[in-house]
Structure 1
Amino acid sequence: MSPAYFITGTDTDVGKTTVAAGLLQAARAAGLSTAAGKPVASGCEVTPEGLRNADALALMAQCTLALSYEEVNPVAFEPAIAPHIAAREAGVALTVQALLTPMQRILRQRADFTLIEGAGGWRVPLSGQDSLSDVAQGLDLPVILVVGVRLGCISHALLTAEAIAQDGLQLAGWVANIIDPKTSRLEENLATLAERLPAPCLGRVPKLKSPTPEAVAQYLELDLLD
């Protein structure tokens, strides 16, 4: 198992943070030290301490290393819109290096298990022609893919896996997060994903009434990570 991974999803709202928090909890339960980062987040709440993102806070809660909010989520925007549009409206240059440097600092803390979580899917735009995937490439981390299981997820998952490979990164594992339990031919869809994705399935997370990190961790197998 690698000490650090980049976690991405087939789309936005597919449960990346839910799964990431579950993986971090599973690592903690195994006695590992944990750290996490979310380089950019939009959809933040204004607080007396500054902008705060619920996903970043959820990751932070699973870190055994003492990290400040600004270390975990260095770039935050209030509107719940695409980060590059939020950055443009805020007059902020959303560069690869601005996101890469703080994440490298987290990795240098050398926790036993670190997750860097993207925003949305693999090709989320930054400034110019850059994408968040360029940050993953700069970090050179193996990737965990969260597949939001619903109609259409097979193509989304396979295209994302192809893009990850095209970018020269290893797909270390994937998680089936069943966001639509009424998906027609659910088992057949999951079997197709298992046949075609070039990495082990780390778990199948059902739609939970209360998807706490502890509840999600029960469905995940860290030991399957390369």
Structure 2
Amino acid sequence: MLNALLITGTDTEAGKTVLTTTLAAYWQKYYPQRSWGIMKPIQSGIGDREWYQQLFALEQSAEEITPLYFQAPLAPPIAAARENRQVDLAVVWQTLSELRSRRDFVLIEALGGLGSPITDELTVADLAGKWRLPTVLVVPVRLGAIAQAVANVALARQTRVNLKGIVLNCIQSYSDAEIADWTPPDLIQSLTNTPVLGCLPYLDNLNDLDKLAQVASNLDLETLQLSYRRD
């Protein structure tokens, strides 16, 4: 059973928050006896931290959810420079380590895409590899998604990311034919040698936690080692 899972994407607005929220809803519904937490390690501007605080009754302080918070909605090294601050990853690592020690499971939503800068020298992929975080890549369903998947998996391999799988995400309401044409799972798996764990439908209401939990249960959570045997 995994103790933590990093959720990253091909780029901004790929669907990281959708998948993170969906998995959190699943965990909350089916394993209420087990403790879990959410982290958005670095955030620039108002966004995901506030969303998770609103949606879930998290027994976490704002600093435990987001150890590094910058005001400007820009890449962290740029946002930090505007405030005459540094991107102190030691603070992030310490907070994550403490949270993992106290919780059965921690969902970690990365910023931007796998290639997004965290510092002047490091990307999300670099950090995922260095910290050995089991990772899922969210690929948005659209024309060009196959190439994005191939390029991002190549980056993950280069930086030694422990990539557990790919989740496709419908950023709009598409027909089955469009989904099959733009993101054929068999082809993506063949080209990347990475399992496609499922496809999230377009979700226009992320407040319906029961529905989100059901959607998550349709993913291949066994491959992610996110499922306990339910009696």
Matches within 5 A, 1:5-24: 5-24=5-24
Structure 1 partner of 2:93: 100
Judge which range, 89-98 or 178-187, deviates more: 178-187
The letter for the 2-side match of 1:21 is: T
Is 1:214 the counterpart of 2:210? The answer is yes
* Cα offsets for 1:85-114 (capped at 9, x unmatched): 1111111111433432222222222x2221
Are residues 1:199 and 2:201 paired? no
2:29–2:210 CA contact under 8 A, matched in 1? no
The residue type equivalent to 1:223 in the other structure is: E
Amino acid at match of 1:200: P
User: Aligned partner of 1:69: which letter?
Assistant: A
Quote how far apart the aligned CAs of 1:62 are. 6.6
Partner of 2:224: 225
1:143 aligns with 2:135: yes
Q: Which amino acid aligns with 1:157?
A: A
Structure 1, 133-142 or 55-64: larger mean CA deviation: 55-64
Of 166-175 and 62-71, more deviation after overlay is shown by 62-71
CA gap of 1:195–1:181, structure 2 versus 1, over 3 A, is: farther
- Distance in 2, Cα, partners of 1:5 & 1:62: 20
For residues 136 and 62 of structure 1, what CA distance do their matches in structure 2 show? Answer: 26
1:91 corresponds to 2:91:
no
AA partner of residue 40 (structure 2): K
CA–CA distance in 1 between the matches of 2:55 and 2:194? Answer: 25
Paired residue secondary structure (1:76):
strand
C-alpha deviation, 1:159, in angstroms: 1.4
What code does the residue aligned with 1:189 have? Answer: W
Where do 1:36-115 residues align within 5 Å?
36-44=38-46, 54-60=47-53, 66-109=59-102, 111-115=103-107
Change (3 A) 1:128 1:190: closer
Q: Secondary structure at the match of 1:176?
A: strand
User: What secondary structure does 1:108 align onto?
Assistant: helix
How far apart in 2 are the matches of 1:174 and 1:62?
A: 25
Using the aligned pairs only, state the percent identity.
30
TM-score under structure 2 length normalisation: 0.82
- SS of residue in 1 equivalent to 2:183: helix
Q: Would you say the 8 A contact 1:96–1:135 is kept in 2?
A: no
Structure 2: gaps of 5 or more residues: 226-231
Counterparts in 2 of 1:189 and 1:195: CA distance versus 1, 3 Å: farther
Matched AA of 1:214: D
Q: Read off the aligned partner of 1:25 and give its amino acid letter.
A: A
CA 1:84–1:214 in 2, change beyond 3 Å: closer, same or farther?
Answer: farther
Aligned residues of 2:4 and 2:100 also touching (Cα < 8 A): yes
Superposed CA RMSD in Å reads 2.3
Cα deviation 1:112-159 (Å, max 9, x = unaligned)? 221111100012213331223333234311101111111222211221
Paired position in structure 2 for 1:33: 35
Kindly provide the CA deviation profile for residues 142-196 of structure 1, in whole angstroms up to 9, marking residues without a partner as x: 1011111112222112211121122222211221111144588420332232443
Q: How many angstroms apart in 2 are the aligned matches of 1:122 and 1:106?
A: 23
